Amino acid sequence: MERLKGKKVVITGGAGFIGSHLVERLLGLGAEVTIIDNFMFGNKIEHLRGSKGFSVIEGDIRDVKAVSRAVNGRDIVLHLAACVGVEETQKMPLEVLDVEIQGTVNVLSSAVKSAVRRFVFGSSSEVYGNSLKPMQEDNPLSPRSTYAVAKLVGEEYCRAFYQKHGLEYTCLRYFNVYGPRQDERFVIPRFVGQALSREPLTIYGDGSQTRDFTYIDDVVNMTLLTVTRPEARCQTINLGTGTMTTINSIASLVTNALDGTNPAKAIHIDYDDKRPRCIEVFSRVADIARARQLLQYEPEVSLPAGIGKYINWRLGR
């Protein structure tokens, strides 16, 4: 990680949940960090404004000029800007595709012009669709939502730019990430918020759906490993923990961590327009053998510990 000292890094979508944590860590390591973000999902970097080596470009990645201002002269691009969230993005399919296609092409083109040394693309486990078995990077892909299709398109552009221009990329397929500053649209922040306000926890369906949850600190470590390790060049790599957890177990972990102070526990609601069954992925867990082998990556924060950290952050402890 010391290799990142003095490096010039641009993070698209840097005002978002994962981006803001990367900004913090990179500044701490002595990197110079620029972000470009249109703040459509809020602004999670306000506390960092004015930090040494940090600059902010308010702009849309579909705007070529803004992107080239952000990327010009940088060594590393972390491309995370996207319309995020499977439910929300079903309501804006053309914008989701536009950001992922036009936006990603703009960022890749600027990276080629600026002779960027490494390009990391924030992809998603959504590209796999459903699988009862741990998902391996070479599995057949079966995206079920516009968001998932958009991510697959982004990955393909990275591969095409490598073939045509030699731009070295890593596609990181993030599984479910959680931690401080994540929006309450997502399950762990929502459950904790509901439990703290003594409301019932809302579970879609019967809660037996499984996910693979990674704490943000592990995600930041792994993302930066892909930048520093030559073995990550031109690879697609899962970023998860390899542990499958049901949504019902998350509800129990949250209520237990809060000493069962939420008497209403959980309510199950049927799938509706907000979360249509046809796009729901029912079973998902990462096979992380490739990350282990290439990057010696090992997730460090267990789910109970991560939920505890998140609750402490919510309570300001």
Ligand X SMILES: NC(=O)c1ccc[n+]([C@@H]2O[C@H](COP(=O)([O-])OP(=O)(O)OC[C@H]3O[C@@H](n4cnc5c(N)ncnc54)[C@H](O)[C@@H]3O)[C@@H](O)[C@H]2O)c1
287 binds ligand X (CB under 6 A): no
What part of residues 145-204 is at the interface with ligand X (CB under 6 A)?
A: 174, 176-177
Q: How many residues bind ligand X (CB under 6 A)?
A: 27
34 binds ligand X (CB under 6 A): no
Q: How far is the CB of 231 from ligand X (least distance, A)?
A: 22
For ligand X, which stretch binds (CB under 6 A), given 39-47, 133-141, 293-301, 306-314?
39-47
11 binds ligand X (CB under 6 A): no
269 vs 203: CA distance, rounded Å: 6
Q: Is 174 a catalytic residue?
A: no
Looking at 128, 147, 204, 215, which residue is catalytic? 147
The per-residue DSSP string of 60-110 comes to -TT-HHHHHHHHTT-SEEEE------HHHHHT-HHHHHHIIIIIHHHHHHH
Beta carbons of 179 and 310 less than 8 angstroms apart: yes
Which of 24, 60, 87, 280 contacts ligand X by CB under 6 A? 60
**Angle in degrees, CA 160, 163, 164, rounded to 5:** 85
Q: Where are the alpha helices (DSSP H) in the chain?
A: 17-28, 64-71, 86-90, 93-98, 104-113, 146-165, 187-196, 216-228, 247-257, 289-295, 303-314
* Binding string, residues 80-109; x marks residues near ligand X by CB under 6 A: xxxxx--------------x---x------
124 binds ligand X (CB under 6 A): yes
Beta carbons of 98 and 62 less than 8 angstroms apart: yes
Which residue ranges make up the site for ligand X (CB under 6 A)?
A: 13, 15-19, 36-41, 60-62, 80-84, 99, 103, 122, 124, 174, 176-177
* Catalytic residue set: 147
